[in-house]
Amino acid sequence: MSTEHQDTQPHSNHLVAATDDRIDRSFDGIADHFEKKVYGGLKGEIRLAVLRRDIFGYVEQLSQSLGRPLRVLDVGAGLAQIALELAEQGHHVVINDISANMLAKAKASVKQKSTALNISWHVCPYQALAEKLATDNVGKFDLILCHALLEWLAEPKAVMDFFDSQLTDDGVLSLCFYNPASFDYRNLIMGNFNLLDAVSEKSNYHADNKKSLTPSYPVAKEEVASWLQQHHYKVIIESGLRVFHDYVSLKRGGHNDPEAVIRMELRYSQQAPYKWLGRYLHVMAMRQA
Ligand SMILES: C[S@@+](CC[C@H](N)C(=O)[O-])C[C@H]1O[C@@H](n2cnc3c(N)ncnc32)[C@H](O)[C@@H]1O
């Protein structure tokens, strides 16, 4: 196995401050908790199944038509499962996260693999990445993965300018983000009306618990759609991740069969109206430069 390891020192500024008291959320202190809660069970398997289906099909097609491996960037990569699988498929992958602990976990999973992979690692806020990539003379990317990062950024919209600077002219963005509508719907089903009243009075929701995986700064799909339009992207794929799994309080029938749940999640993930109820939404959009 030969992987190119670089720039892996923890970044001194783990929390990137915006203009007010909002800060980007590094997962350094909750890496174990995140791994267990998000990827330790069926929830994570559904998430990865939908992302694999959406991304790998497109990547194979594009790579064939270009006649070369793709250049892929994973920003806010965490455990970087999809990026690492793309590297195993032969693509050139750059992996970034603000958290050294998260990338250490991703690297540990690479060590278990035996083939030669083309991966470079950057522990830093994505806001410092363009400069590092320019210094390393790294070109633009055919595909950028940005999964479950948006909702942890103090200034989520600003990441769109970063994508513009790093994507090739007809490059594709794979943007997966928390769907705030799913929070409302789940709490409606659970009868948590007091919570919904409190949230609507505050007009946003902040979990006080430091280990909470409830996103700090959720962005509605309409807002993301308007950013994509302003930045001249054409949406090519839209899916919902976990369109029914998280709403089930009484497990019956097929709910007891994890494979069947994944099969049904995949089937309904691209059908309206179900896809709009996904806990996360996945949009693949091509830049029209
Ligand atoms: C919810 S996790 C998502 C990880 C992975 N992309 C996934 O889908 O499983 C969010 C990740 O974004 C990272 N992060 C937060 N702010 C960041 C920033 N400004 N630059 C780069 N990564 C950041 C966190 O450390 C964390 O690993």
Neighbours of 140 (CB within 10 A): 14
Q: Using 50, 70 and 90 to split pLDDT, how confident is the model at 115?
A: confident
Q: 204 or 153, which is more confident?
A: 153
User: What is the tens place of the pLDDT at every residue in 209-232?
Assistant: 667 788 878 999 999 999 999 999
CA separation (Å) from 212 to 33, 165, 208? 9, 32, 8
Which amino acid makes up residue 124?
C
What predicted TM-score, i.e. pTM, was given to this entire model? Answer: 0.92
Q: How many Å separate Cα 190 from the centre of its chain? A: 27
Q: Is residue 185 part of a domain?
A: no
Cα separation, 255 vs 285, whole angstroms = 32
Neighbours of 112 (CB within 10 A): 7
How many angstroms is it from 79 CA to the middle of ligand 1?
Answer: 9
pLDDT at 243 over 90: yes
Question: Kind and range of the H or E element at 172?
Answer: strand 167-178
148 Cβ inside 6 Å of ligand 1: yes
* Cα-based angle 153, 154, 160 (whole degrees, multiple of 5): 60
Q: Is residue 208 part of a domain?
A: no
CATH number for the domain spanning 144: value is 3.40.50.150
Q: Is residue 245 part of a domain?
A: yes
Q: Is residue 213 part of a domain?
A: no
Write out the two tokens for 59. Answer: 């990547």
Q: Using 50, 70 and 90 to split pLDDT, how confident is the model at 19?
A: low
CA-nearest residue, atom 8 of ligand 1:
147
282 Cβ inside 6 Å of ligand 1: no
Q: Is residue 207 part of a domain?
A: no
How many angstroms is it from 103 CA to the middle of ligand 1?
Answer: 10
Structural contact between residues 176 and 50, judged by C-beta atoms closer than 8 angstroms: no
Residue 280 is classified by DSSP as E
Cβ-proximal residues to 197 (8 Å cutoff; 6+ apart), any chain: none
Cα separation, 199 vs 151, whole angstroms = 17
User: What is the tens place of the pLDDT at every residue in 29-61?
Assistant: 999 999 999 999 999 999 999 999 999 999 999
pLDDT at 260 over 70: yes
Q: What is the pLDDT of residue 212?
A: 76
Structural contact between residues 268 and 274, judged by C-beta atoms closer than 8 angstroms: yes
Number of domains in the chain: 1
Q: Which domain holds residue 278?
A: 28-179+219-287
180 Cβ inside 6 Å of ligand 1: no
Write out the two tokens for 64. Answer: 């064939």
How many angstroms is it from 74 CA to the middle of ligand 1?
Answer: 10
Cα separation, 81 vs 57, whole angstroms = 16
pLDDT at 207 over 80: no
Q: Is residue 190 part of a domain?
A: no
Structural contact between residues 123 and 106, judged by C-beta atoms closer than 8 angstroms: no
Q: Is residue 5 part of a domain?
A: no
152 Cβ inside 6 Å of ligand 1: yes
Q: Is residue 200 part of a domain?
A: no
